[in-house]
Amino acid sequence: MPDFRQCATAFFVALLTSSSAVASPELARSKNCVACHHLERKMIGPAFKAVAERYGKDEAAIKTLSEKVVKGGGGVWGQTPMPPQPAVSPEDAEILVKWILSQ
């Protein structure tokens, strides 16, 4: 039987590795982001990695991009606008953007 320290260590490791970034690929699928975006290649919208390259060092990016997820936007990546995603909460949008920027 494992001792208390082993259990506590396993619990804290699980807690640390269960951050929002770990859940984001599933969240991106559940919110249908992958209908227009791919991790590595352009589809209708830009690749998530291209977004990370463009905005990764921008301190305002999380707020700006989270708002674009919910409200929509256009003109930054070409002629095709991103439609509003009202089914994505501001909290989920922020989780998604943080994950995208970590790519």
CATH of the domain at 88: 1.10.760.10
Residue 89 lies in a domain: yes
Residue 73 has φ and ψ, to the nearest 5°, of 180, 180
Supply the pLDDT for residue 78.
93
Residue 33 lies in a domain: yes
78 token code pair: 């070409």
Residue 9 lies in a domain: no
Q: Which domain holds residue 35?
A: 20-101
Global pTM value: 0.76
Residue 95, pLDDT > 80, answer: yes
pLDDT in tens, 5-57: 443 344 333 333 344 445 689 999 999 999 999 999 999 999 999 999 999 99
85 token code pair: 């995603």
92 token code pair: 């989920």
**Structural domains of the chain, count:** 1
Residue 40 lies in a domain: yes
CA angle 32, 20, 98 (to 5 degrees): 75
Spacing of C-alpha 45 from chain mean position? 14
Residue 1 lies in a domain: no
- By the 8 A CB rule, do 86 and 69 touch? no
Residue 28 lies in a domain: yes
pLDDT in tens, 48-92: 999 999 999 999 999 999 999 999 999 999 999 999 999 999 999
